[in-house]
Each structure stands twice: as structure tokens, then as C-alpha cells.
Amino acid sequence: MNEHKLNWLAAGAWMAFLFYLSSLPKIPGPEKILTIQLIRKSGHALVYAILAYLDWRVLRAEPRFAAQSVRWAWLFATLYALTDEIHQGFIPERHFTGTDVLIDTAGAALAMLLVRRRQAALQGPPVVQ
């Protein structure tokens, strides 16, 4: 299997994993403790940072998306976060939370910022002639 197909498979598997997690009823626990809330919200940012990165790996190889692959990957991860939250609105003991969409979007943006920085570092400084 070639790398591009593996990238598609990884992105699809990650999306299926996120869908599975959002299908679970609310996990009981001490929600009101600030530390627990910070861990949960950091998890939101992390899983959508990973999704954006996996999306970018797919899109950079697609000719029509390659030039803007960072923007498209961020947009796709953001839209997936939105649909994931809508999906949670139909799950018992879960609900739609706009704050989570914003946190997910921020995680995706952070991942794409890191991708841009890495690309810039690999290109090196401009050569003056």
C-alpha cells in the first residue's frame, strides 16, 4: 500500500475513533474540579490537532489542495469538530458545546501553525544574490 493510501487510512481511522468517542454516554467523574476540566479540554485540542495533521498529510498530496493544504486541513478539522458536537447533541447525557468547537478549532490551528513553522525551517532563509 502506498503512502498516500496509508495517509487516507490513518485520517479515516482517526475520524472513526473520534466518532466512537463522541457516541459514548457521558463518562461519570468529578467534572467540577478545575484540573479535570483542563485535562478534558486539553484532550479536545490534542485530538483535533492530530486530526488536522492527518488531514494535512492527505491534502498535501492532492494537486488541487496542495498549495493551500494547511488551510484546507484546518477547515476540514474545524467542520468535523462542528459535526461531531452536533452528533453529541443526539447522544444521551451529552450535548452540543460551542466552547468545545472553539477548543477543537484552536487545537487544529496550533497543529497547522507547527506544520507551517516546520515547512519554513526546512526551506531555510531566503538566499540573497
Each residue's pLDDT, cut to its tens digit, for the chain (129 residues) gives 799 899 999 999 999 999 999 998 876 666 667 777 788 889 999 999 999 999 999 999 988 888 899 999 999 999 999 999 999 999 988 889 999 999 999 999 999 999 999 988 888 766 666
User: If you search the block for the grid coordinates 526551506, which residue do you land on?
Assistant: 123
The DSSP secondary-structure symbol of 63 reads T
Identity of the amino acid at 61: A
pTM, whole model, 2 decimals?
0.87
In this structure, is residue 81 part of a structural domain?
A: yes
Domain range for 51 is 3-11+45-122
Other C-beta atoms lying within 10 Å of the C-beta of residue 82:
16
In this structure, is residue 7 part of a structural domain?
A: yes
In this structure, is residue 73 part of a structural domain?
A: yes
Total number of domains in the chain = 1
In this structure, is residue 28 part of a structural domain?
A: no
In this structure, is residue 83 part of a structural domain?
A: yes
In this structure, is residue 20 part of a structural domain?
A: no
Identity of the amino acid at 98: G
In this structure, is residue 26 part of a structural domain?
A: no
In this structure, is residue 66 part of a structural domain?
A: yes
Buried b (16+ CB within 10 A) or exposed e, 32-49: eeeeeeeeebeebbebbb
